[in-house]
Amino acid sequence: MAVNRAWATMLDSVAPVFFSFFSLLFLVTTETAGVSSSVYNSSGFFSLKYRFSDQERSLNVLKAHDTQRQLQILAGVDLPLGGIGRPDTVGLYYARIGIGTPSKDYYVQVDTGSDLMWVNCIQCRECPRRSSLGIDLTFYDVEDSNSGKLVPCDNQFCLEINEGPLSGCTTNMSCPYLEIYGDGSSTAGYFVQDIVQYARVSGDLQTTTANGSVIFGCGARQSGDLGSSSGAALDGILGFGKANSSIISQLASSGSVKKMFAHCLDGTNGGGIFAIGHVVQPKVNTTPLIVNQPHYSVNMTAVQVGIEFLNLSRDVFEGDRRGTILDSGTTLAYLPEIIYDTLISKIISWQPELKVFTVHDDYTCFQYSQSLDNGFPNITLHFENSLTLKVYPHDYLFSYEGLWCVGWQNSGLQPSDRRNLTLLGDLVLSNKLVVYDLENQVIGWTEYNCSSSIKLQDDHSGTVHLVGSHYISSGCSRLNPVWLFALILLSMLVLTLEL
């Protein structure tokens, strides 16, 4: 098969026009549809690796990352998963997937806040050639895969993702894509379809290799942090978002998996669990997902400090009806100004003798030499259906240059497009099993030891199997087939797309 080189040439010659004119056309706004297949015969799990674990701690870097992350979320151009979740480090979990026939390994970011999967393409000249992570970067070439094929402009996927026929894109041309990040980074190329391999749960702590056909982007042009200047580079991004174009939706629509997955981010040891399937143990209580929202958003109803509830009206939580966004690709936790001010005052009131500092204009810090958990209150967030999320002092307080700093942030100080956003990142999501049930449009969580194991049920056979935590070592050789679809969970320096 011959690759349609016209698009790659066009991207080089008319890039400025392409980026401005098509930026609105290529955004995905399709709604998540229910899955009607009655047969689900596989569950999968993914090994995690912590990125940037030894990078110098910087509060400026943390805030810069979260600022970019929020721009990406609100720009609608794309999401996480998770990492160590410490607000005093910059990090990312990543994994490897197998693509093509014969299969080749790719290191990608797994993102619950974005939908599109893409990897760097052989035609790309602006893509990074080396990575500081000690991994070999791989460029996808559809001509090298016996199972790979181009996705033409009249393909249903192309029509849906562009909400109809794309002007200038004829039947004999491959369907192009363009995604622009809020920080100015972008990726552009064309869609291809190929086999993706993953590890299907076949017994307690055992897997066999399974595969599914997936449509994804072949990145022919990258810019910004996705380009050659990115030192800790990866091969691409794997979207686990809500739209029909995400990998979870594509696999579910084919009956390969059920539209349910879970992650447990080990904030102590690194690594953790990311599994597709029906989690039956531990049991989790759930809260409804807000409909017609592009992200995993839920309704918060109250904030409790110790045993005392903050005196807040319901309007504070409803805000602009976006609800509370859960995003493990964000490091900290952001609250509307009225919640933030009241919360910080209550926390500090537990130690009235503290001398409080403001560091880098945003962080409330102080000196304290005793036990954090004995000296400060637990923060309990309440959600619909009586679901609660408890955040301990050792979670929301972190050390920095001899001080303890508060990880809660004031979103009321953000620019107008992000003002008073409620967004919960790794600060509150690590060391918890978080379950995403898109079949029933709910999400839930429970405190859990993420270095242990969970139980998944095969809804077709009824069998239940253990799935354990994993950690991919640095600089390792090519994967054993069972690990070919070990996905990345991202945590802090994640640059993700939102469709």
Query: Tell me: the pLDDT tens digits for 207-217?
Result: 677 788 999 99
Long-range CB contacts for residues 18-22, cutoff 8 Å, separation at least 24:
18/178, 18/188, 19/178, 19/180, 19/186, 19/188, 22/176, 22/178
Rounded to two decimals, the pTM is 0.76
- From the options 3.50.50.60, 3.30.930.10, 3.30.413.10, 2.40.70.10, give the CATH code of 285-434: 2.40.70.10
Largest CA distance in the chain: 73
pLDDT at 14: 35
Backbone angles phi, psi at 135, to 5 degrees: -120, 155
Q: What is d(CA 198, CA 483) in angstroms, rounded to the nearest whole number?
A: 7
pLDDT at 146: 97
Between the alpha carbon of residue 489 and those of residues 58, 59, 329, 390, 455, the distances in Å are 22, 22, 9, 22, 19
The confidence score (pLDDT) of residue 71 equals: 43
Q: Encode burial over 9-31: b for 16+ CB neighbours within 10 A, e otherwise.
A: ebbeeeeeebbeebeebbbbebe
> What does the pLDDT read at residue 5?
38
Residues in the chain, pLDDT under 70: 1-94, 113, 181-184, 202, 207, 228-230, 269-271, 318-321, 328-329, 413-419, 470-499
Active-site residue set: 111, 327
Domains in the chain: boundaries: 5-278+452-486, 285-434
User: What are the Cα distances from residue 445, in Å, to 261, 431, 453, 498?
Assistant: 12, 10, 15, 23
d(CA 480, CA 32): 34
Q: How far apart are CA 475 and CA 49, in angstroms?
A: 11
pLDDT at 132: 81
**Do 5-278+452-486 and 285-434 have matching folds?**
yes
Closest among 189, 206, 269, 211 to 7, alpha carbons compared: 189
- Going by C-alpha positions, the residue among 487, 488, 489, 485 that lies closest to residue 209 is 485
pLDDT value at position 228?
A: 64
Instruction: Provide the pLDDT for residue 466.
Output: 86
Question: What CATH number should be reported for the domain whose range is 5-278+452-486?
Answer: 2.40.70.10
